[in-house]
Amino acid sequence: MSDKHATDAYYKPYHGPAGGWGALISTQHHWLQSKNATRNLRTLLKTNQSQGFDCPGCAWGEQHKPGMVRFCENGAKAVNWEATSRTVGSAFFAQHSVSALYAQTDYFLEFQGRLTEPMRYNPTTDHYEPISWDDAFALIAEVLKRQDTPDRVEFYTSGRASNEAAFLYQLFARAYGTNNFPDCSNMCHEASGYGLISSIGIGKGTVEIDDFEHADAVFVFGQNPGTNHPRMLDTLREVIKNGKQVLCFNTLKERGLERFQHPQNPVEMLTNGFTPLNTAYFIPKLGGDMAAVRGMVKVLIEMEAEAQARGEALFDHAFIAEHTQGMDDYLKQVEATPWEKILDQSGLTREEITHAAQVYARSERVICTWAMGITQHKHSVPSIHEIVNLLLLRGNIGKPGAGACPVRGHSNVQGDRTMGINEKPAKLLLDKLSQRFEFEAPSLPGHNVVEAIQAMLNKDSRVFISLGGNFAAATPDTEVTEQALRNCELTVQISTKLNRSHLVTGKEALILPCLGRTDQDIQKTGPQRVTVEDSFSMVHASAGVLQPLSTEMRSEPAIIAGMAQATLGSFPIDWLSVVEDYDRIRDLIQDVIPGFSDFNHKIAAPGGFYLGNSAREHRWNTPAGKAIVHTHGLPEHILHSAAADLITHNTLIMQTLRSHDQYNTTIYGLNDRYRGITGERKVVFINPADLQRLGFTEGQEVSIRSLWNDGRERRVDGFKLVPYSIPAGNVAAYYPETNPLVPLSSVGDYSHTPTSKSIAVVLEPNQSTRII
Scored b (16 or more CB within 10 A) or e, 48-66 reads: bbbebbbbbbbbbbbbeee
Q: Which stretch binds ligand MGD (CB under 6 A): 16-24, 282-290, 353-361, 760-768?
A: 282-290
Q: Which stretch binds ligand MGD (CB under 6 A): 194-202, 284-292, 525-533, 570-578?
A: 284-292
For residue 262, the number of C-alpha atoms closer than 13 Å in the C-beta half-sphere is 19
Partner from Mo ion, ligand MGD, none contacting 399, C-beta within 5 to 8 A by type: none
Scored b (16 or more CB within 10 A) or e, 653-683 reads: bbbbbbbbbbbbbbbbbbbbbbbbbeebbbb
Helix %, strand %, coil % of the chain (to 5): 40, 20, 45
Q: Which helix (H) or strand (E) holds 531?
A: strand 530-533
With binding defined as CB under 6 A, does residue 474 bind ligand MGD?
A: yes
- Shortest reach from residue 188's CB to ligand MGD, in Å: 3
Binding map of ligand MGD across residues 498-537, x = CB under 6 A, - = no contact: -x--------------x-xx--------------------
Distance from C-alpha of 38 to C-alpha of 449, rounded to nearest angstrom:
40
Beta carbon nearer to ligand MGD, 141 or 293: 293
Partner from ligand MGD, Mo ion, none contacting 756, C-beta within 5 to 8 A by type: ligand MGD
Q: Which stretch binds ligand MGD (CB under 6 A): 6-14, 318-326, 391-399, 496-504?
A: 496-504
The DSSP letter of residue 284 is: P
Residues 538-557 touching ligand MGD, rule: CB under 6 A, are 556
With binding defined as CB under 6 A, does residue 735 bind ligand MGD?
A: yes
Indicate if the alpha-carbon torsion angle 247, 252, 253, 256 is positive or negative.
Answer: negative
Phi, psi at residue 58, to the nearest 5°?
A: -155, 180
Distance from C-alpha of 15 to C-alpha of 161, rounded to nearest angstrom:
38
Cis upstream peptide for 723 (omega within 30°):
no
Cβ neighbourhood burial of 210 (10 Å; 0-12, 13-18, 19+): middle
With binding defined as CB under 6 A, does residue 654 bind ligand MGD?
A: no
- Shortest reach from residue 329's CB to ligand MGD, in Å: 26
Strand partners, 772: none
Beta carbon nearer to ligand MGD, 497 or 626: 497
Report yes or no: 59 and 535 within 8 Å, Cβ to Cβ. Answer: yes
What is the total count of residues that contact ligand MGD (CB under 6 A)? Answer: 61
Binding map of Mo ion across residues 142-181, x = CB under 5 A, - = no contact: ----------------------------------------
With binding defined as CB under 5 A, does residue 188 bind Mo ion?
A: yes
Beta carbon nearer to ligand MGD, 437 or 663: 663
The three-state (H, E, C) secondary structure of 638-683, written as one string: CCCHHHHCCCCCCCEEEEEECCCCEECCEECCCCEHHHCECCCCCE
With binding defined as CB under 6 A, does residue 756 bind ligand MGD?
A: yes
Binding map of ligand MGD across residues 235-264, x = CB under 6 A, - = no contact: --------------xxxx-x----------
Beta carbon nearer to Mo ion, 373 or 513: 373
Beta carbon nearer to Mo ion, 202 or 474: 474
- Give the strand pairing for 217-221 and 153-157: unpaired
Binding map of Mo ion across residues 400-429, x = CB under 5 A, - = no contact: ---------x--------------------
Binding map of ligand MGD across residues 129-168, x = CB under 6 A, - = no contact: -----------------------------xxx--------
SS3 state at 271: coil
Report yes or no: 371 and 317 within 8 Å, Cβ to Cβ. Answer: no
Cβ-proximal residue to Mo ion, closest one: 409
Greatest alpha-carbon span in the chain: 83
Q: Which helix (H) or strand (E) holds 684?
A: strand 683-686
Report yes or no: 353 and 297 within 8 Å, Cβ to Cβ. Answer: no
Distance from C-alpha of 483 to C-alpha of 675, rounded to nearest angstrom:
35
Distance from C-alpha of 407 to C-alpha of 378, rounded to nearest angstrom:
19
Binding map of ligand MGD across residues 351-390, x = CB under 6 A, - = no contact: --------------------xxx--x--------------
Q: Which stretch binds ligand MGD (CB under 6 A): 6-14, 143-151, 494-502, 562-570?
A: 494-502
- Shortest reach from residue 281's CB to ligand MGD, in Å: 11
Nearest C-alpha neighbor of 376 from the set 324, 449, 437, 435: 449
Pick from 43, 163, 369, 656 the residue near ligand MGD by CB under 6 A: 656
With binding defined as CB under 6 A, does residue 295 bind ligand MGD?
A: no
With binding defined as CB under 6 A, does residue 662 bind ligand MGD?
A: yes
Beta carbon nearer to Mo ion, 19 or 406: 406
Radius of gyration of the chain (CA): 25
- Shortest reach from residue 677's CB to ligand MGD, in Å: 14
Partner from ligand MGD, Mo ion, none contacting 494, C-beta within 5 to 8 A by type: ligand MGD
Pick from 117, 151, 164, 289 the residue near ligand MGD by CB under 6 A: 289
Partner from ligand MGD, Mo ion, none contacting 510, C-beta within 5 to 8 A by type: none
Cβ neighbourhood burial of 695 (10 Å; 0-12, 13-18, 19+): exposed
Pick from 187, 299, 390, 511 the residue near ligand MGD by CB under 6 A: 187
What is the total count of residues that contact Mo ion (CB under 5 A)? Answer: 2
Q: Nearest 5 degrees, angle CA 219-CA 246-CA 308?
A: 65
By the criterion CB under 5 A, which residues form the site for Mo ion? 188, 409
By the criterion CB under 6 A, which residues form the site for ligand MGD? 57-58, 74, 110, 158-160, 184, 187-188, 221-224, 227-229, 249-252, 254, 284, 286-287, 289, 371-373, 376, 409-410, 467-471, 474, 494-497, 499, 514, 516-517, 556, 655-658, 662-666, 735, 739, 742, 756-757
